[in-house]
Amino acid sequence: MNYRHAYHAGNHGDCLKHALLVALLEALRRKDTPFGVADLHAGRGVYDLSGPEASRTGEWRGGILKLLEDTPAPLRGYVSLVQRLGLYPGSPALIRALLREGDRLVLNERHPEEFAALSAWAGRDPRITLRQGDAYALRGVLPPGGLKRGLVLFDPPYEAEDEIDRLARALVAAHRAAPTLILAAWYPIKHLAPVRALRDSVRDARLPRRVDVALHLRPPLDPARLNGSGLLVINVPWRFEEEARAIVAALKERLAEADGSVHLEAAA
């Protein structure tokens, strides 16, 4: 319960996750039928990059600042939302900005202070339901807003030893409970063993229509550093694979070191 996203907001991991999240939401918006989103590790909604936490780490300078200074075409949708929304938008703010009148958003956050900030930010938006609880307690949450089209975002802090196991089990349970929803899970790359464990679990569970897209800023040789991150997506929408390829290539170009690389794997 020590993790506070304010120290990391706008870093390269957020840029990867949020740019791909915007692409998934844009895909849902291509049809008029309403969609529901469950953001299960929501955080506080928005972040002040000039505040003490973000200033202390300066992580955003290696992420969103570089994209604001020079925005490659595949990242324009995401970066223009960041410019428009003022404070750095966390996943709840990006999702809310792309909701239409009939769409629904469930925001879940466990930490009391983060939940209080999230509730204050959300205000009285009739499209939003707030929930303070464990992200992996899915009963009653899926499908979000009772809508069968939509997206579930898992974005845990990976503080707990068993996070990968819990996440892998939750992906399987979420898919069983609501087989038509897109599921997206962000993961950090410090070293490769935990990433391989997550990929193996998802492959063994035969979760359908997967795209796993990752940016390595550098080879993952020093496990004390965040060397990159990835997003694992189940039930990908049409055209997402090619959009993800363009997004991650643009992020590599702007954010990675000379020996950085991209990983993109798709499975039916």
Binding residues for S-adenosyl-L-methionine: 18, 41, 91, 109, 134-135, 155
Closer CB to ligand SAM, residue 170 or residue 211?
A: 170
> Residues within the annotated binding site?
18, 41, 91, 109, 134-135, 155
- Catalytic residue, chosen from 14, 103, 155, 212, is 155
**Which single residue brings its beta carbon nearest to ligand SAM?**
90
Tell the smallest beta-carbon distance from residue 57 to ligand SAM (Å).
Answer: 14
Compute the Cα dihedral for 16, 18, 19, 22 and give only its sign: positive
39 in catalytic set: no
Interaxial angle between packed helices 240-255 and 12-29, expressed in degrees from 0 to 180 and rounded to the nearest 10: 160
Contacts of 181 by beta carbon, 8 Å cutoff, 6+ apart:
142, 143, 148, 149, 150, 151, 152, 174, 175, 235
Alpha-carbon gap, residue 180 to 159, rounded angstroms: 30
Closer CB to ligand SAM, residue 41 or residue 96?
A: 41
* Beta-sheet strands, E only, within 126-209: 128-131, 150-154, 182-189
Report yes or no: 10 and 88 within 8 Å, Cβ to Cβ.
yes
* Interaction site with ligand SAM (CB under 6 A): 3, 5, 17, 41-43, 90-91, 108-111, 114, 134-135, 155-157
Compute CA 86 distance to the chain's CA centroid, rounded to the nearest angstrom.
Answer: 19
Closer CB to ligand SAM, residue 31 or residue 194?
A: 194
Tell the smallest beta-carbon distance from residue 92 to ligand SAM (Å).
Answer: 7
Closer CB to ligand SAM, residue 156 or residue 260?
A: 156
Residues that are catalytic: 155
